[in-house]
Amino acid sequence: MGAQVEAWDSAAADRAIAVLKAVADPTRYRLLWALSRQELPVGSLAEMLGAHVAAVSQHLAKLRTAGLVESRRDGTRIYYRAVGPHVRGLLEEAALAASASFEDPEPAGGPPATAARTRTARATARVPSAARARRPLAE
């Protein structure tokens, strides 16, 4: 019974929610994915997304406010990059969580869902295609 429960930190929760909200937009997710690999100028990011530079700049501003990207100016160009490797980790963890939520759970007391699908596929494969085509439609 040595487990210690952490106290609720409202400010930390608010920051985490702001980060999750920033990443929740598909365009911002794609921007972060690209920027977690390399530093890129706004124009290249806009071209990659097929979007206007102004729209990409707005998304980047939200990501910067959430603390996920930082920028530097080189002459007239502004380059963006992810603030650290934890950004890529966040994106990868989100992808893992998403894929895990769509996996078929094993039914209680029964065979795994993949085995049931395999049996159905084999049974369907044994029926000649002409016979399948003549079957009446269920009403």
Higher pLDDT, 58 or 119: 58
Measured in degrees and rounded to the nearest 5, phi and psi for residue 9 equal: -110, 100
1-45 residue pLDDT tens: 555 657 778 899 999 999 999 999 999 999 999 999 999 999 999
Are residues 49 and 56 in contact, defined by beta-carbon separation less than 8 angstroms? yes
- Residue 109 inside a domain? The answer is no
- Residue 53 inside a domain? The answer is yes
Residue 36: CATH number of its domain: 1.10.10.10
What pTM did the predictor assign? 0.65
- Residue 114 inside a domain? The answer is no
Count of structural domains within the chain: 1
- Residue 55 inside a domain? The answer is yes
- Residue 59 inside a domain? The answer is yes
Q: Show the domain range for 55.
A: 10-101
- Residue 93 inside a domain? The answer is yes
